[in-house]
Amino acid sequence: MTASATEDSLRRTLLRIDGRGYGAYKDIRGTYRFAEFTLAVDAVQGDPFASPSRLRVLIPPTTAELPGRLYTNASRAIGVSCFLAKAFSSKAGKMSTRRGSGKSGEIRIEAPGQQVLANTAVQVHGDGAVEARFTVGLPAQGRRVLGRQACGILLEDLPELIAGSLYARSHTGEELWRHAAANEDADALRAVLAERGLIAFVGDGSILPRSSGVDDRPMQGGSVISFRSPESLKVSFSLPNAGTVSGMGVSAGVTLIVGGGYHGKSTLLRAIERGVYNHRPGDGRELVVSKADLVKIRAEDGRAVSGVDISAFIGDLPLGQSTRRFSSANASGSTSQAAAIVEALEAEAGGLLMDEDTAATNFLIRDARMQALVPKESEPITPYVDRVRRMYKEYGVSTVLVVGGSGDYLDVADTVIAMETFRAYDVTARASAVASDHPTGRVAEGGKSFNVNLRRIPRPGSVDPRKGRRESSIKTRDMQTVQFGRETVDLAAVEQIVHWAQTRAIGAALDYARRGYIDGQCTLSEILDLVMADIETKGLDVLEGRRTGELARFRRHELAAAFNRLRSLKT
């Protein structure tokens, strides 16, 4: 970023347009040299009630003064960048004051939550430079420019905000290092899980309960019980910074989490589910680390399904409807869950996470009494209990299942973890004895093979973001909804999306894939490969032309889920 204008130039322009119509703010677009950084005004809002103006600041290494060890690799740099974004957001919230109509005076950045996500809000570059992208509500009275107040925001408040949050001297060296080191340790741990035969690790001392269903911060108070691994499941790792850590290893294969209601079964599963991302220091789950390819699966009544081979779970339906290429605008609980599993395999999931509470009961199990009452030839559903081991054997796909009412799964489990008052116990041997002493009498269904077609090819034109005269209209309403052209994509059941900026990036990625890779030849899996490879090599900015601070890294699995919930999708 280069700039020929200075902060004095910006001051003169703001004073010149003071009192003019709001459109005069467009005169300040450009880049400006300040004493310690360069400011870019990339986009100016059309009126004080519109989306705030987009700004960037580039702080050179000599000003940021970040010690070199904080950005010697991407893991450390991302940990530090998320910390700086949080610091900027916190200070901006305290400094922002209303200065006129609409959003006048608001300074805002897309700070990450408890998870550490590569993002475009704050980036620490390889040379130690810091780039921050944020929005400012340029002040107005009615629809008239308040130039003097704008001078106060851009020339006084903003430099103070930047100096108080984005420079190394704004923080202690220990504080910065904690965020770099914790992120590097989590990445290092995840990298060695597979070679130890594990799909997840839950560190001793972790705090798994959250403040509430809408607050992802750790629960506080003397009643909170920290996690401790059963001795039989305990494993240790040597990490680059934390040294030797111990905790519970969740092995590949079929794992059940059992126990009474409200004893922590779902809390443990949710921690493993979120362990596909790293966590910021103080979150309590810094050492809850899962393989990056674990996918949460649930029933989702009413979702659209397009050409998915669910025949391994659902046989031919009444009236001869084939399930080899199953499509529905309004899938049932069982067919939606079957489709979600096959779609996850198509997106190369290495493990599936399920909770009995959010699963279709008739998809999970069909007991001996129901088998006797309704013969197999009248029941198209092959329950998951009869497929779970075959999936692991033939596809290498593990399962972690929370179960409280279906003892039939004891026959197919490799590991059984019981939760009692938020404490974990290894009850595998006892579960095996129970299964032996109390046979269910049910007959396994579905045959021996598990064979599904995972090569769907999206049709060009079926991913369509057009709306009215706009060639591409994509809006992100919240973390769960993308308005894609004329269609609303509902991602509420995609539980591993953790931030609005991920959802926004996913919406952009759908259009990026449409423009570059949906050609009637590439399979969906190949399209995912190509999009994710471009992000890896070129960064999130590749997804759209504008340099916004509103994008965060997502996984291929959430992008696949968005594709699969497009009602227009044809394959």
Summarize pLDDT for 284-315 with one digit per residue, the tens. Answer: 999 999 999 999 999 999 999 999 999 999 99
Locate all alpha helices (DSSP H) within 173-274, ordered by sequence.
Answer: 173-192, 265-274
* Single pTM value for the model: 0.95
Tokens 């600041």 belong to which residue?
57
Mapped onto helix, strand or coil, the DSSP state of residue 124 is strand
Domain extent listing, the chain: 5-171, 251-454, 474-564
- Asked whether the beta carbons of 424 and 255 are under 8 A apart, the reply is no
User: 312: Cβ–Cβ under 8 A, 6 or more apart, which residues?
Assistant: 338, 342, 382, 387, 446, 450, 451, 452
- Asked whether the beta carbons of 399 and 352 are under 8 A apart, the reply is yes
pLDDT tens readout for residues 156-184: 999 999 999 999 999 999 999 999 999 99
Which pLDDT value is given to residue 1? 45
C-alpha span between 6 and 396 (Å, rounded): 59
CATH number for the 251-454 domain, one of 1.10.3470, 3.40.50, 1.10.155, 3.40.630?
3.40.50
C-alpha span between 354 and 399 (Å, rounded): 8
Tokens 């998951």 belong to which residue?
384
CA angle 337/199/249 to nearest 5° reads 125
> Which token pair is 504?
């926004």
Q: Which residues of 93-132 are buried (b: 16+ CB within 10 A; e: fewer)?
A: eeebeebbbbbbbbbbbbbbbbbbbbbbbbbbeeebbbbb
- Asked whether the beta carbons of 501 and 121 are under 8 A apart, the reply is yes
Cα 251 → chain centroid: 23
Strand-pair category, 53-59 with 38-43: antiparallel
Q: Residue 305 burial (CB < 10 Å; 0-12/13-18/19+)?
A: buried
Strand-pair category, 288-290 with 122-124: unpaired
Residue 4 to residues 33, 64, 95, 405, Cα–Cα distance (Å):
7, 21, 29, 69
Residue 186 to residues 17, 202, 280, 445, Cα–Cα distance (Å):
51, 11, 10, 41
pLDDT tens readout for residues 486-516: 999 999 999 999 999 999 999 999 999 999 9
Locate all alpha helices (DSSP H) within 113-153, ordered by sequence.
Answer: 147-151
- Asked whether the beta carbons of 340 and 297 are under 8 A apart, the reply is yes
Is the torsion defined by CA of 71, 77, 79, 85 positive or negative? positive
Q: Across the 571 residues of the chain, what is the mean pLDDT of every consecutive 10-residue run? A: 80 97 96 97 92 96 98 98 98 81 86 96 98 96 93 96 97 97 98 98 97 92 94 98 98 97 95 98 98 98 96 84 92 97 98 97 94 90 95 96 94 97 97 95 83 94 92 92 96 97 98 97 98 97 93 98 97 95
C-alpha span between 247 and 203 (Å, rounded): 4
Q: Could you tell me the end-to-end alpha-carbon distance of the chain, in angstroms, rounded to an integer?
A: 43
- Asked whether the beta carbons of 501 and 554 are under 8 A apart, the reply is no
pLDDT tens readout for residues 18-40: 999 999 999 999 999 999 999 99
User: 537: Cβ–Cβ under 8 A, 6 or more apart, which residues?
Assistant: none
DSSP assignment of 197-217 equals: TEEEEEETT----EEETTEEE
